[in-house]
Amino acid sequence: MQPTEAQRGIRDQFRRFMTEELERATPAFEQGSELPYALMRRMVETLGLGGSGGGGGGGSDTQDKAADDPELAALMSYARTQLTVEMCRVNPGFALSFGASTGLFGSNVRGKGTAEQVAKYAGPVMRFEKIGCWCLTEPGAGSDALRSMKTRARRDGDEYVISGEKTFVTNAPHADYFLIYAKSDDGSVQAFIAERGAPGLTTSEPFKKMGMRSSPTGAVYMDELRVPADNLLGGGVKDRDHVRSSLASERIGLALMGYGIAERCFEIALDYAKTHHRSGQPIGNFQLVQQRLARMYVALSNARRIVYSSEPTSVLDACAGKLYVGEVGTQVAMDAIHILGGNGYMEEYVVERLARDAKLVEIGGGTTEMQILTIARHLLA
């Protein structure tokens, strides 16, 4: 599947920005001495992402034209995919925070909110004037987030009063806007928009993590948090359908993340095998190194066909893609470390960080086990 000339132009433009800007800023993001959000804003402006919220296809005018132009629509779809891949080749944590703000918060509000909510909350987030986060997981409710949810929202006149705790929330320590899921009086799960600074809403310090250190993660606490009834997303949404569609989108993004990691790690390992010598010859001449490279390439080729598929993606396919490509990302990264040997274990060779980042793809957005169960249930339904 060779990219077209137009696709290569988009890929090269994105890769140039990530190589020149994101690569240089990554050490500071990883150490926590700088936050990634200013660079995200510059990326949106530099790459002309406009109001598309990181879709890589321009603003609303371009999207309107794409509705009547299949070729343009396909190019925009490729751009959205490639933007995530290019970010993840360099810094998956940066992509994680970017996607949580524009996708899980921004796209949900833009797609399901009232006109007032879209203008007030989605617009500023899509332009990166504000940062959003998506608050679903709880300390005792991860894979079973809906059924075991303890966060409650009760109606009190023209307001809702929310109490509970959310955890593992991407962007939580620095977010301006929060999309909080809670069980309402009738037992349904509803989504509420809250703003930083509201009495009763606090966040934790950033968690210390194995990987994805460029992406601030934390907890969100609601203690009798009052939000206007107008901040009930869309005036009330279907709980399971709404959350499941959000999770499906997240899983597609995580599959792209796994692919970007695997692609970069394979390239580093292949170059190292060609240029690093042992016993007077490149290590790529040794058959066991060749075997490892060959298997890495096969896995990467299969993953590429999944993430660049032009077929519509169902919930079933989103879970299958996340399951397979997530495992490929981790395995190829670990294989790259093995080929680089002691150097692969060092920070300066990049694969060490990418391997740590890759593991989250198998955990976040539903663990490997949950993907398997969901796939089986869909097949047997």
H helix or E strand, kind and range, residue 375: helix 368-380
Burial class (CB in 10 A: 0-12, 13-18, 19+), 130: buried
In whole angstroms, give the CA distance from residue 366 to residue 268.
Answer: 29
Write down the catalytic residue from 138, 250, 263, 362: 250
Q: Of the candidates 142, 213, 129, which has an alpha carbon nearest to the alpha carbon of residue 173?
A: 213
Element (H, E) at 218: strand 217-228
Rounded to 5°, angle at Cα 89 from 329 and 347: 85
Instruction: Kindly state the tokens that stand for 15.
Output: 């890769």
| Known catalytic membership, residue 116 | no
- In degrees rounded to 5, what are phi and psi of residue 136? -120, -55
Q: Which two tokens stand for residue 22?
A: 């994101």
DSSP string computed for 173-197: TT-SEEEEEEE-TTS-EEEEEEETT
Cα–Cα dist 59/51, whole Å? 4
How far apart, in whole angstroms, are the C-alpha atoms of residue 215 and residue 32?
9
Give the active site residues.
250
